[in-house]
Every structure is written in structure tokens, then in C-alpha cells.
């Protein structure tokens, strides 16, 4: 299961997002659901950097992005 955990500050603004796990829709390397989630997360990271000039701090591991 893919889990998304959002940490918020006192004003309820998101300050950290943790995404982990696998969709288990298909075998490793063939899972289009995991591929779609990865693509969407990477798009958000690139948008934060390119459009908003925010430099996200990333920790990337197999099945995990913080």
C-alpha cells in the first residue's frame, strides 16, 4: 500500500510530505500504479523548484520519498 503522510505547522500549512510503500498492483518493475505515483511526485518536486523557486530537501530510497 502506498502511504502519504503530511506534516503541518501550527497554521496548518504543509511543511513535509512523506510517501512510502508500493501499490502491489503488479510485479516489481511492471507496476503502472507505482510508476504513476512516482511520476506525479516527481512532477510536484520539479514544480516546487522551477515554478516557486523552493528547494525541497529530498531523501529518496526504494519505495520511499521524503
Q: Are 6 and 14 in contact (CB under 8 A)?
A: yes
pLDDT tens for residues 17-58?
888 888 999 988 899 999 999 999 989 989 988 998 888 888
Confidence of residue 66 (pLDDT cuts 50, 70, 90): low
What range does the domain containing 25 cover? 3-65
User: How many Cα atoms are found within 13 Å in the side-chain-facing hemisphere of 47?
Assistant: 6
Residue 65 pLDDT > 90, yes or no? no
Confidence of residue 64 (pLDDT cuts 50, 70, 90): low
Total number of domains constituting the chain: 1
Q: Which residue, among 61, 4, 2, has the nearest Cα to 32 in the 3D structure? A: 2
pLDDT given for residue 58 in this prediction:
82
Separation of alpha carbons 56 and 5, rounded Å: 16
Amino acid at each position: 500500500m502506498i502511504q502519504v503522510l503530511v506534516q503541518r505547522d501550527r497554521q496548518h500549512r504543509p511543511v513535509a510530505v512523506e510517501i512510502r510503500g508500493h501499490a502491489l498492483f503488479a510485479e516489481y518493475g511492471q507496476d503502472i500504479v507505482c510508476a504513476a505515483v512516482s511520476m506525479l511526485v516527481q512532477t510536484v518536486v520539479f514544480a516546487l523548484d522551477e515554478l516557486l523557486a523552493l528547494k525541497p530537501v529530498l531523501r529518496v530510497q526504494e519505495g520511499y520519498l521524503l
